């Protein structure tokens, strides 16, 4: 018989530095046991929870989740983006989650499809926030940075160099010229919304045959997290307070994309109740990890600094 203890319920939270000393999550840390640091960042965190041979092909995984047709082709994510020119180049200020509906997304994509078609690629609007590019058979997969690596920085520093890199730089310039002239951007500016003036291409590769995880299931709304969980054959549940309240050992609750104020007001009561009845691992996107067990609430002698 395997007598090893069950893995705790893992709650994935934003960077620890975002939680000020008055945040209620700190009250759990005061009495919890510190663990060895874990992965830092979104993609590294996903890679720590899921084992994918040969890297993380976000394009193929998310296309398969949304459309179910990724098998047998190589895909890129082509996320709608907002780029701000400056004196030194252009900075990537936002990517994905651009408050698009499907009609608006299709309108932006329509003039771009011939641009990709001339390059032998197919641009697909899988959902308003998640677009994909199907690469031609046998085409090499470019090494393109993930959004979290490029946000706030000069985007051209994150594009591949050399002869192959020049192809992608030219393509990106053509995309930006088309989108700069798109009439829908005037409408967005009038509504106080950022323009859609670029696409961010990343996450290339083919659908992996196998994804492994030790998780029993995940609760969260992130598309790539859901795609990995589905490919690994574990349950995926939409994030609601009721779902989190019913979660148990061996599961992952993804809150790392939420503002810390929202965690305090909407999610803290649920976390506090869970802490009274089962072990929780608090995993921060910045790498810090703590283990809190129900009995730890009696550790009144613990200091108040974490």
Task: Give pLDDT tens digits for 222-244.
Answer: 999 999 999 999 999 999 999 99
Q: What pLDDT sits at residue 79? A: 96
Q: Is residue 3 part of a domain?
A: no
Q: Which two tokens stand for residue 7?
A: 């893995």
Query: Residues 145, 269: one domain?
Result: no
Query: Residues 65, 144: one domain?
Result: yes
Query: Residues 171, 215: one domain?
Result: no
Number of Cβ within a 10 Å radius of residue 9: 24
User: Which of 174, 206, 238 finishes a domain?
Assistant: 206
Domain count, the chain: 2
Hey, is 13 helix, strand or coil?
Answer: strand
Say yes or no to pLDDT of 301 above 50: yes
Lowest mean pLDDT among 48-57, 187-196, 291-300: 291-300
For residue 275, what are the domain limits? 9-53+211-298
Q: Which residues contact 184 (CB under 8 A, 6 or more apart)?
A: 104, 107, 108, 196
Burial of 39 (0-12, 13-18, 19+ CB in 10 A): middle
Between residues 298 and 285, the one the model is more confident about: 285
Q: What pLDDT sits at residue 113? A: 98
User: Which of 206, 221, 240 finishes a domain?
Assistant: 206
Query: Residues 187, 82: one domain?
Result: yes
Q: Is residue 175 part of a domain?
A: yes
Q: Is residue 2 part of a domain?
A: no
User: Which of 185, 206, 227 finishes a domain?
Assistant: 206
Query: Residues 62, 191: one domain?
Result: yes
Query: Residues 110, 172: one domain?
Result: yes
Q: Is residue 191 part of a domain?
A: yes
Per-residue pLDDT of 100-113, as tens digits, reads 999 999 999 999 99
Distance between CA 291 and CA 282 in Å, rounded? 6
Q: Would you place residue 1 in the very low, low, confident or very high pLDDT band (cuts 50, 70, 90)? A: very low
Query: Residues 180, 47: one domain?
Result: no
Chain mean pLDDT for the chain = 91
Q: Is residue 4 part of a domain?
A: no
Per-residue pLDDT of 2-58, as tens digits, reads 444 678 999 999 999 999 999 999 989 988 899 999 999 999 999 999 999 888 999
Closest CA to 120 of 163, 161, 171: 171
Query: Residues 183, 229: one domain?
Result: no
Say yes or no to pLDDT of 214 above 90: yes
Q: Is residue 87 part of a domain?
A: yes
Query: Residues 187, 222: one domain?
Result: no
What are 53's strand-pairing partners?
none
Residue with tokens 């893992």: 10
Q: Is residue 233 part of a domain?
A: yes
Q: Would you place residue 139 in the very low, low, confident or very high pLDDT band (cuts 50, 70, 90)? A: confident
Query: Residues 85, 163: one domain?
Result: yes
Q: What pLDDT sits at residue 186? A: 94
Query: Residues 199, 65: one domain?
Result: yes
Q: What pLDDT sits at residue 4? A: 47
Read off the pLDDT of each residue in 276-281 and give the average, rounded to a whole number.
94
How many percent of the chain have pLDDT more than 70?
A: 94
Burial of 142 (0-12, 13-18, 19+ CB in 10 A): middle
Say yes or no to pLDDT of 272 above 90: yes
């Amino acid at each position: 018989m395997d007598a090893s203890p069950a893995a705790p319920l893992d709650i994935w939270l934003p960077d620890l530095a975002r939680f000020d000393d008055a945040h209620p999550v700190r009250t759990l840390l005061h009495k919890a046991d510190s663990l060895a640091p874990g992965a830092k960042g979104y993609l590294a965190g996903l890679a720590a929870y899921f084992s994918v041979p040969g890297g993380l092909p976000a394009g193929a995984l998310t296309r398969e989740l949304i459309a179910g047709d990724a098998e047998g082709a190589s895909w890129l994510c082509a996320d709608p983006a907002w780029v701000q020119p400056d004196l030194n180049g252009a900075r990537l200020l936002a990517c994905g989650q651009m408050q698009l509906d499907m009609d608006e997304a299709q309108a932006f994509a329509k003039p771009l499809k011939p641009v990709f078609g001339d390059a032998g690629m197919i641009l697909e609007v899988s959902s308003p926030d998640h677009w994909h590019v199907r690469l031609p058979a046998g085409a090499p997969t470019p090494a393109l940075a993930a959004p979290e690596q490029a946000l706030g920085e000069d985007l051209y520093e994150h594009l591949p160099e050399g002869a192959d890199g020049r192809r992608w730089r030219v393509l990106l310039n053509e995309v930006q010229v088309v989108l700069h002239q798109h009439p829908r951007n005037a409408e967005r500016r009038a509504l106080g919304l950022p323009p859609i003036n670029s696409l961010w291409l990343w996450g290339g590769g083919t659908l992996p045959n196998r994804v492994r995880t030790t998780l029993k299931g995940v609760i969260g709304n992130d598309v790539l997290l859901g795609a990995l969980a589905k490919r690994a054959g574990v349950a995926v549940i939409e994030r609601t307070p009721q779902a989190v309240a019913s979660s148990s050992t061996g599961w992952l609750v993804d809150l790392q994309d939420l503002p810390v104020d929202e965690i305090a007001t909407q999610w803290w009561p649920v976390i506090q109740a869970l802490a009274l009845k089962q072990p929780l691992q608090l995993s921060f996107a910045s790498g810090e990890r703590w283990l809190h067990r129900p009995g730890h609430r009696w550790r009144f002698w613990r200091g108040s600094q974490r």
